[in-house]
């Protein structure tokens, strides 16, 4: 049995080795240490009793106490205290500091105690090794039990959440994604708390705004009671967060409409518009940026960057109105307002929303490529006889894309949140215009739902961008494996 256990624990390809090794690695991170204890509470309680039973035979405490008494009798602690006091006095005199004798004495005693405890511990560890004994700890007790296949089988069901977390952590890519998802959840909760707090402190009174100036105190009180506005701040906040987590956002203050249903109808329109604009921007801007970087200060470079500067400078509401006047009214090529049944109606809003994004990506791609193509490794690649196209696409573009990906992610989030102006110009019933319409009531459930689900989408986009980093940059993949 011992030989089999030894083979399992030393075989890096076995499940037991993977679980034990990963568990030991996770213990060095406090957050995971506490999470493992909570998720594996039934197993940890059993191991805790077993640990206390084994600890009765632990020689560490007795040897530690004996070693401490011996060192105290030898006056080690007093000598450490005197040395530290002299060091602190010399340091004070050198730096011309003004500290009282009591402060110096207190600091010297504290540092002496720390050094003495460390010395006792190290001496105790040496004596344990000489006697062929080991200190019994909870972590070592659990690891020794994990080395037995029977323990893993019996503890699989009660410890399933803990084992799933361990296996998740054992793979660097799944661990990376898991940690980013946890961060995204925390960000979304933070956004929900911030938005709700701002709306709660808003000077606008939803009941008075909806019922009207003729509303009586009884009508306002009844309205507040129906929608829970008469509850405390914490109660309302808890209900709002619980509603977001369960996708039950309640009803809108106006129209008695289910907020979840309204967002489900309006959010896909804004998301589709933003995605079309993003694809258009990437397809146009990245080749333009690369061409401008490979031909700096040429006619193409000046022309493209001038057009990009114009694209950044034009307000999208003005651009939308010009498009409607020319393409819809004058030439009658495209419809002036959006209609889900007519795919041509999405062209002008997508171009208007994506113009600034295209210009930003093109300028960033140009500057990033220019920076990369002058690096030493690019010069080395050229000296090896590689063609200009091989050097550009195999070595330069991948590295140049890293800052561009960051810009794309940030601007895409801005497009989702800032699409309201474009939606208003083209009469698009999207999530941006929906939030703006509800803002001045304020319709708290509607605004909370719209803002938080935009935040969820942006968090998922940022997660995707973080994964793209690892795809384009092997240095990040290497860090992920060793983290």
Average pLDDT, the chain: 80
pLDDT for position 82: 87
Band (pLDDT 50/70/90 cuts) for residue 2 is very low
Asked if residue 189 lies in contact with residue 49, where contact means CB atoms within 8 angstroms, the answer is: no
Within 10 angstroms of residue 132's Cβ, the number of other Cβ atoms is: 6
pLDDT value, residue 4: 41
Q: What is the pLDDT of residues 342-370, one digit of tens each?
A: 888 888 888 888 888 888 888 888 888 88
Are the beta carbons of 372 and 379 closer than 8 angstroms?
A: no
What confidence score (pLDDT) does residue 7 get?
47
Instruction: Assess whether pLDDT exceeds 50 at residue 386.
Output: yes
The residues spanned by each domain of the chain are 2-57+136-170, 60-130, 259-440
Residue 26 has pLDDT above 60, yes or no: yes
Of 59-63, 96-100, 175-179, give the lowest mean pLDDT range.
59-63
Task: Supply the pLDDT for residue 12.
Answer: 56
Give the C-alpha separation, 307 to 313, whole Å.
10
Q: pLDDT by residue (tens digit) across 405-448?
A: 888 887 887 777 667 788 888 888 888 888 887 877 778 888 88
pLDDT of 217 reads: 82
Identify which has the larger pLDDT, 192 or 97.
192
Cβ atoms of 443 and 436 closer than 8 Å:
no
Nearest Cα neighbor of 142 from 19, 47, 209 is 47
C-alpha to C-alpha distance for 406 and 101, rounded to whole angstroms: 56
Contact call for residues 20 and 9 (beta carbons, < 8 A): yes
pLDDT at 1 over 70: no
Q: How confident is the model at residue 9 (pLDDT cuts 50, 70, 90)?
A: low
Kindly report, residue by residue over 185-208, the tens digit of the pLDDT.
888 888 888 888 888 887 777 877
**CATH number of the domain at 259-440, out of 3.30.2310.20, 1.10.3720.10, 3.40.50.300, 1.10.10.10?**
1.10.3720.10
């Amino acid at each position: 049995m011992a030989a089999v256990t030894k083979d399992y624990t030393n075989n890096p390809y076995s499940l037991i080795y993977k679980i034990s090794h990963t568990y030991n690695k996770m213990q060095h991170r406090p957050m995971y240490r506490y999470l493992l204890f909570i998720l594996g509470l039934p197993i940890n309680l059993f191991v805790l009793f077993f640990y206390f039973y084994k600890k009765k035979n632990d020689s560490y405490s007795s040897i530690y106490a004996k070693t401490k008494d011996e060192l105290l009798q030898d006056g080690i602690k007093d000598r450490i205290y005197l040395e530290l006091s002299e060091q602190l006095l010399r340091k004070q005199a050198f730096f011309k500091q003004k500290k009282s004798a009591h402060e110096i004495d207190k600091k010297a005693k504290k540092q002496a105690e720390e050094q003495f405890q460390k010395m006792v511990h190290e001496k105790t560890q040496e004596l344990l090794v000489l006697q062929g004994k080991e200190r019994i700890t909870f972590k070592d007790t659990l690891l020794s039990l994990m080395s037995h296949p029977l323990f893993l089988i019996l503890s699989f069901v009660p410890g399933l959440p803990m084992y799933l977390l361990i296996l998740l952590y054992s793979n660097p890519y799944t661990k990376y994604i898991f940690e980013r998802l946890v961060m995204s959840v925390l960000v979304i909760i933070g956004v929900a708390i911030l938005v709700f707090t701002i709306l709660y402190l808003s000077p606008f009174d939803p009941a008075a705004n909806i019922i009207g100036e003729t509303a009586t105190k009884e009508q306002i009180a009844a309205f507040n009671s129906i929608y829970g506005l008469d509850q405390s701040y914490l109660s309302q906040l808890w209900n709002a967060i619980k509603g977001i987590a369960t996708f039950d956002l309640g009803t809108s203050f106006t129209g008695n409409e289910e907020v979840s249903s309204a967002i489900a109808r309006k959010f896909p329109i804004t998301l589709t518009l933003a995605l079309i604009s993003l694809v258009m921007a990437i397809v146009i801007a990245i080749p333009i940026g690369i061409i401008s970087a490979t031909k700096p200060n040429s006619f193409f470079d000046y022309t493209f960057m001038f057009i990009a500067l114009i694209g950044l400078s034009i307000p999208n509401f003005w651009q939308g109105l010009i498009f409607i006047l020319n393409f819809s009214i004058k030439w009658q090529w495209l419809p002036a307002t959006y209609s889900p049944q007519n795919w041509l109606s999405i062209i002008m809003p997508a171009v208007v929303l994506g113009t600034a994004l295209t210009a930003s990506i093109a300028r960033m791609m140009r500057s990033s490529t220019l920076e990369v193509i002058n690096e030493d490794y690019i010069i080395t690649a050229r000296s090896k006889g590689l063609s200009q196209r091989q050097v550009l696409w195999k070595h330069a573009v991948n590295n140049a894309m890293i800052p561009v990906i960051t810009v794309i992610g940030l601007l895409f989030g801005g497009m989702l949140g800032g699409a309201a102006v474009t939606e208003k110009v083209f009469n698009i019933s999207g999530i941006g215009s929906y939030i703006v319409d509800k803002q001045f009531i304020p319709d708290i459930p509607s605004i909370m739902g719209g803002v938080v689900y935009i935040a969820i989408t942006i968090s998922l986009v940022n997660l995707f961008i973080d994964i793209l980093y690892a795809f384009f940059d092997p240095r990040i993949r290497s860090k992920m494996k060793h983290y």
